[in-house]
Amino acid sequence: MQIVIYRSSNKRVLEIFPDVVEILDRGDDFIKWDDGSINGSNHLILVLPGEIEIALDDTLTEDIIEQDIPFVPQSAETNREIDVLRRALRVSVAKLIRADELSEEELGAMIDIYPEFSAGEPVKVGDLLKYGGNLYEVIQEHTTQSEWTPPETPALFLRVQPEGVIPEWVQPTGSHDAYDEGAKVTFNGDIYISTVDDNVWSPDEYGWELYTEGGD
């Protein structure tokens, strides 16, 4: 890639930075790349494929300007990769997998496709993060903090299994981790499906029925 700085009034090329490997950040009047940055300029910025021949004082055509490479933040790139992997996982799992039938290595490989928890990241409800070898779902929008790790903040995170994996039943501690209607769990060697929302009972008490594949 190459970065081209040009004047808005006449589209005249003012500066060229060739051989750019990665764009780190970009806004209307600033850009940061692997070994440089420009900030506070009133001029316009292009990120172009390296093979386009540009020289200082050239006047840019609209055809060249339209080849600007958009900046995609790394987090968005990672989320797209995760979505692709999750879709592939759903396709590859012809039948539901019981968590108690997976080895630690197999379950770990499924969890490893998700991003690692780190402090200072904005997260929204439904985001999935791994921490300490386990997978957690965000249940309250917030910005992560080092002292708010998933195991220590059940009001913010719920431990879950990867898609397609049926978890073992765990006693809910409140409404935040109660089972929804349709949730599936294993219990005493069988699979159960919740028949009610906000289910805090065990499958041998209330609100569950035995699940048979193809029965829902």
pLDDT tier for residue 113 given thresholds of 50, 70 and 90: confident
pLDDT tens track for 23-69: 988 887 889 998 899 887 778 999 999 999 999 999 999 999 999 99
Task: Show the domains of the chain with their CATH numbers.
Answer: 2-65 (no CATH), 74-167 (2.10.10.20), 178-216 (no CATH)
| Straight-line distance from the first to the last Cα atom of the chain, in angstroms, rounded to the nearest whole number | 52
Strand-pairing partners, residue 198, are none
Angle at 163 between CA 179 and CA 108, to 5 degrees: 110
Distance CA 203, CA 198 (A): 13
- Look up tokens 């699940």; give the residue: 211
The yes-or-no verdict on residue 212 having pLDDT over 60 is yes
pLDDT tier for residue 99 given thresholds of 50, 70 and 90: confident
Give the residue with greater pLDDT, 7 vs 80: 7
Distance CA 54, CA 15 (A): 10
Token digits of residue 211: 């699940």
pLDDT tens track for 150-175: 999 999 999 998 877 889 999 998 88
The yes-or-no verdict on residue 96 having pLDDT over 70 is no
Q: Judge residue 157's burial from the number of C-beta atoms within 10 Å of its C-beta, 0-12 exposed, 13-18 middle, 19 or more buried.
A: buried
